[in-house]
Structure 1
Amino acid sequence: MKNIFTLVAVLFLLNSCASQSNTVNTKSEVTAQKPLEVATDQGTKLVVGIVVDQMRYDYLTRFNSKYGEGGFKRLINEGFNCKNNHFNYVPTYTGPGHASIYTGTTPKYHGIIGNNFYNKEIKEMVYCAQDDNVTSVGTEDKAGMMSPNRMQTTTFGDENRLFTQMQGKTIGVSLKDRGAILPAGHTANAAYWFHGKKEGVWISSSFYMNELPQWVKDFNSSEAAQSYLKVWNTLYDISTYTESGADENNFEGGFKGKETATFPYDLKTLSETNRGFDILKATPYGNSLTTDFAMAAVAAENLGQDEITDVLAVSFSATDYVGHNFGVNSKEIEDTYIRLDKDLERFFNYLDATVGKGEYTVFLTADHGAIDVPSYLQSVNVPAGYVDNYSRKKTFNAFLTETYGTTDIVENISNNQVFIDRAKVKALGLNLIDVQNAIAMEQLSYKNVSKVYTATTLSSAGFTNGVEALLQNGFNQKRSGDVILVNDTAFIAYGKTGSTHGSALNYDTHVPLLFFGNGIKHGETLEKTVIPDIAPTISALLGISFPNGATGSVLGFVID
């Protein structure tokens, strides 16, 4: 593998510190028009937001003895640790999570109610970052037809761009498009995500640019992705991985072409039957590649090189793919976090050298947690299981036919929401509220459904605690369904192997929140904090306007 520091240095020299960058509204272009002297209250040159996809809070403590001093422990030992940090809404998915972290509000206001959700206007499922009005940049594949157009509020990155008259840059980086696009916001200079398959390149969208900057082209040509198609074995002796379950068990998925989900994994060989370069996403090397690219972006785009604050949003997505595949108690997830810790150390050392110690501010959190594999929980006598959606749908259709003479009165069922066809209700001479209530009571009678609420209730009641309050914070009147379902604790609609997420329960809502660097106190708290608090806190630190829909509070106790 080519040494990433050499790669970054070469890119830096070749591109004269990104003077050939094709990103829109670059700092050099605006400065040439009219110099602007803007400094933040705290003198932070660069804000680095880090989201670790599917990171439960207990990964900080469970794997603590395996971490070095320069990654997670550096954030804790030198920064501020919010130990009781939670999502205050459902559903706890990747798209809503990233949007909420950076907008400082919940799906009720920013509108990203799921990764994929039903669009009541066009009566189709849509993707949270989908934009059919833009084109792919860096690939001929449709994977680049993305933008933040479905997110209805600003991010703190947007507010920093507005405050600095567009001189402060904002760039998003993630293996996942939504993990790069939603954090970067509407005014971002660029968002980059990884397109695997047979290409293995970082791409973008015409929403940001017409052509990839030269430094991105050079990175894609450097064979950085190819270098990670190698054998994945545990970093340390597997016998020392005592914080996770047995390597061979019945609760893991694994890769096509390998009989057991056990170390080692020959990724180059397995890539042939696992969507080519996409296999990297489900290994810790996906995080390493993301780190490489983020460092290249810092160098080529001159991030943090003057007194005007820049924002770099980095999302480490491989942790989510590994968790979905192998589960939260696997040797694979432990090794992934041990290796992520080393990537974080490498990244922080690089920022120390390029931006300067004490010159940048970092926060690290997650977009959601994850449940222990229910089949594993069952094996140790913890109540858990799987929802039988096929049987539930069959029974429900019979109810609709018997009650209303048709199943067409329901347009869609997705994300634990039932969408009613209002035109059909009117044509049948029915009352919408009565139909909502009837469907709610029917669903509540089904096995493994613990609670059901109607849109009318969530729109009118004022819940302040419990799952009801979280449902209300995730309920968007224009986009959410007519009936909202809550499954029994630890019961999921998923396969018998691997982990998932999405609920209002602690295993999905309790995630890390660490602040570190310029303007941040050293300390910790067990006081409850919530995800929407992050963006207002960063805005207050920088002395800029809060995101326009922010509902979170400033965590004043973390600011120095």
Structure 2
Amino acid sequence: MKIFRILHLCSVLVIAATLAACAGPPAAAPRPRLVVFLVVDGLPQRQITGYRDQLAPDGLARFLDRGAWFADAHYGHAFTVTAAGHATMLTGAYPHRTGIIGNDWRDVATGAQVYNTGDTGATYIGHTTQALDGTSPKNLKVETLGDVLRGVDARSKVIGISGKDRGAILPAGKRGTAYMYMGASGQFASTTYYMKEHPAWVDTFNAGKPADRYFKTEWKPLLPEAAYARSVPDSQLWYGPRGGKLPMMMGVPADDAPSPAFYAALLRSPFVDALSLDFARAAIAGEQLGRDDAPDILAVSLSGHDYVNHAWSAESRLSHDHLLQLDRLLQAFFRDLDSTVGKGNYLAVLTADHGFMPAAEYSQSQGLSAGRTSSGQLLNRVNDELQRRFGAPKLAAFLSASALVLDRQLIAQRNLDFNTVADAARALLVAEPVIAAAYTRRELEAGSRAGDPFFGQMRKTWHRDVSGDVQYVLKPLWMFGPPTSVATHGSPHPYDTHVPILMYGPAWVKTGRIDSRVEVVDIAPTLARLLGVPAPPAAEGKPLPLPLLAP
């Protein structure tokens, strides 16, 4: 009897195995129909964790409580500014490959100003275009995830939306479509790079004048005064003549109607983000995003937080409240996505293009060495010393995107050795009390100082065709002007590199916190894997260290 039971069990196992083999492997979750890629411009990770207890139940907390989040996510390049970050996110490549080394830079040969998304061959649709306005991805040297996706299936749509031109254009890539907020009109517009005229849904949205509803509306704090004890109170002297206090009215009280000044002022408030998310809703409906088996990408960069942090710092009560306001806006947006696209049809990802340094005055109040310095005076001091040594004035022509550019023509005319002059300039920079490190073109090309402080990050920032001749980094908590910014970013220090990477999509992402260090370049390969397409060709990241597919 015992032998019979064993034989019977074996038969059952064989039959089960045969059936399983015939059925094939377990079916994987289908590809997300829509990737909603959210960027909060200028959001340091420390703000999310610092105010976590005040978040709404289903905004950012949706990621933290029911999604996956990476507690130690960083940018790997040194000059952490908006354009460089937005170019990195969906290409998976740093500036040394993307060619987007800053928000702007100067041509090393001519000295001409270059804007990261500038293109004189394209203009805004229905709006005046200035010479250095951002109108296309012409300067982006690599492909994005959306470019790859549309190359695989032209039915896929890739839409970029932002309060800033660079926040829309760079994530949208070369094959997507970008729409940006027009600070002069309160409307959203694309450019002739993408189309001759707007689709009807864009015209309908703009005809409703949604920005006007915020005219003479007050930005009021969400919580009682006591809830903001962990942030810096309003009306600090170091806010400058603009001041800063909540509640804050949108628009000058004496004005009878919205003006360009009013529309521009919305950028330093939660209302520009509300407008961007409303435009995203219109894009989902108008373009029928996520409605078929060809996956789409909707990239929405929310610009308000960066403007708020520049004006008042990430430690301010205004920034504290702005994050909470944005959190509530995201909660409403997610609920709309659940009902329109379907909770099981989209994958949401949230990150930032850079963090933010604390305001110098705040750091000084904590007993730390911090302050502001003049880039123009720094350049003058370097030139004075170079002239004393080499007998030629202004051998350093200008500064460009965290690098000093030498005057090649003058160096050749004086029969000077370029590398000798560059080495001298580097030594002078390093001797400056506010400079943490500096490296020459020759060192960056050869990789000869691997292991030196910040060298790896600076190599990822430096592009041989676009960047200058001596790349430098300021010491922690120090910044160049302008005096209009209370605080800024653009360094390889953790307060600027440490940003959120948050993911939500129950069909594809397990819940949990991941503490291993990851980089923003890892996002594009991860999303490529989930979408079933190759990673962008220039990507240098790797899939995020998480078993993303649910069991």
TM norm structure 1: 0.88
For the aligned residue pairs, the C-alpha RMSD in angstroms reads 2.0
**1:387/1:493 contact within 8 Å kept:** yes
- State the secondary structure of the residue aligned to 1:484: strand
Q: 1:245 aligns with which of 232, 240, 257?
A: 232
Q: 2:541 aligns with which of 526, 532, 552?
A: 552
In the TM superposition, what is the alpha-carbon distance from 1:404 to its structure 2 partner?
3.2
Partner of 1:33: none
Structure 1 residue aligned with 2:494: 506
Q: Give the alignment of 1:41-56 within 5 angstroms.
A: 42-56=30-44
Runs of 4+ in 1 over 4 A off after TM superposition: 270-274
Seen in structure 2, the aligned counterparts of structure 1 residues 502 and 427 have a Cα distance that, compared at 3 Å, is: same
> Secondary structure of the equivalent of 1:251?
helix
Q: What's the secondary structure of 1:137's corresponding residue?
A: coil
- In 1, Cα distance between equivalents of 2:224 and 2:251: 22
Query: Which amino acid is 1:115 matched to?
Result: N
Runs of 5+ in structure 1 lacking a partner?
1-39
The structure 1 residue matched to 2:281, chosen from 295, 298, 301, is 295
Equivalent residue for 1:536?
525
Question: In structure 1, the residue corresponding to 2:239 is in which secondary structure?
Answer: coil
Equivalent position amino acid for 1:56 in 2: P
Structure 1 residue 524 corresponds to structure 2 residue 507: no
Instruction: Determine helix, strand or coil for the equivalent of 2:457.
Output: helix
**Alignment map for 1:128-277 (pairs within 5 Å):** 128-142=116-130, 146-164=135-153, 166-188=154-176, 190-197=177-184, 199-229=185-215, 230-253=217-240, 255=242, 260-269=243-252, 275-277=261-263
Aligned partner (choices 385, 401, 414) of residue 415 of structure 1: 401
Show the counterpart of 2:24.
Answer: none
Deviation string for 1:243-297 (max 9, x for gaps)? 3111222232474xxxx42122121226969823000000011111111111111
Residue type of the partner of 2:244? Answer: A
Contact 2:183–2:260 (CA under 8 A) maintained in structure 1:
no
Residue in structure 1 matched with residue 11 of structure 2 by the alignment: none
Q: Which amino acid aligns with 1:343?
A: L
Aligned letter for 2:350?
L
Equivalent-residue separation in structure 2 for 1:147 and 1:122 (angstroms): 22
Q: What corresponds to 1:8 in structure 2?
A: none
Distance 1:270 1:389, change over 3 A: farther
| Alpha-carbon distance in structure 1 between the residues aligned to 2:521 and 2:471 | 23
**Whole-angstrom CA distance in 1 between matches of 2:100 and 2:352:** 16
Counterpart position of 2:9: none
Structure 1 position 435, deviation (Å): 1.0
- SS at 2:229's partner residue? coil
User: Which of 362, 372, 388 matches 1:376?
Assistant: 362
Contact 1:253-1:497 within 8 A present in 2 as well: no
Report if aligned partners of 2:382, 2:396 keep a CA contact under 8 Å in 1: no
Deviations 1:474-530 (A, max 9, x none): 111111111112222111113386220000000000000011114112112110000
Q: Which amino acid aligns with 1:413?
A: L
Q: SS where residue 454 of structure 2 aligns?
A: helix
* Matched ranges for 1:437-452 at <5 A: 437-452=423-438
Show the counterpart of 1:487.
474
**Deviation by residue 1:13-40 (Cα, 9 ceiling, x = unmatched):** xxxxxxxxxxxxxxxxxxxxxxxxxxx9
Q: Distance in 1 between matches of 2:384 and 2:260?
A: 40
For residues 162-217 of structure 1, give each alpha carbon's deviation from its aligned partner in whole angstroms, at most 9, with x where no partner exists. Answer: 111x11000000000000000000001x21001112x2111111000111111111
Partner residue of 1:81? 69
- For the residue of structure 2 that corresponds to 1:519, the secondary structure is coil
The aligned amino acid for 2:76 is N
Deviations 1:220-252 (A, max 9, x none): 111210112211111222332223111222232
Higher mean displacement: 364-373 or 238-247? 238-247
Other-structure match for 2:456 = 469
Structure 2: runs of 5 or more not aligned: 1-27
Is residue 37–residue 349 contact of structure 2 (8 Å, CA) maintained in 1? yes
CA separation of 1:448/1:475 partners in 2, compared to 1, >3 Å: closer, same or farther?
A: same
Once the two structures are superposed, residues 17-72 of structure 1 have per-residue CA deviations (whole angstroms, 9 ceiling, x without a partner) of: xxxxxxxxxxxxxxxxxxxxxxx973210011111100010111111121111110
Q: Within 5 Å, which residues of 2 pair with 1:347-362?
A: 347-362=333-348
Cα distance between partner residues in 2 of 1:271 and 1:448: 45
Q: Structure 1 pair 424/436, CA: closer, same or farther in 2 (3 Å)?
A: same
In structure 1, the partner of 2:16 is none
2:386 corresponds to: 400
Residue identity matched to 1:85: A
Tell me the SS of whatever aligns to 1:50. Answer: strand
Query: Hey, what does 1:453 align to over in structure 2?
Result: 439
Q: Which SS does the other structure have where 2:350 is aligned? A: strand
| Residue number in structure 2 paired with 1:343 | 329
* Distance in 1 of aligned mates of 2:525 and 2:466: 25
Q: Take 2:138 and 2:485, find their aligned partners in 1: how far apart are those partners?
A: 35
- Residues 119, 479 of structure 1: 8 Å contact kept: yes
1:172–1:183 contact (8 Å) kept in structure 2: yes
1:37 aligns to what?
Answer: none
Structure 1 residues 238 and 254, CA gap change in structure 2 (3 angstroms): farther
Distance 1:86 1:271, change over 3 A: farther
Q: Secondary structure at the match of 2:534?
A: coil
Q: Which residue of 1 aligns with 2:317?
A: 331
> 2-side partners of 1:391 and 1:176: how far apart?
30
Residue 276 of structure 1 aligns to a residue whose secondary structure is: helix
Q: Within 5 A, what are the aligned runs for 1:14-163?
A: 42-142=30-130, 146-163=135-152
The Cα shift of 1:361 comes to 0.6
Q: Is the 8 A contact 1:104 1:549 kept in 2?
A: yes
Is contact 1:41–1:543 with CA below 8 Å preserved after alignment?
no
Contact 1:138-1:212 within 8 A present in 2 as well = no
- CA, structure 1 residues 437+464, in 2 after alignment: closer, same or farther (shift >3 Å)? closer
Q: CA deviation at 1:442?
A: 1.6
CA–CA distance in structure 2, aligned partners of residues 271 and 77 of structure 1:
46
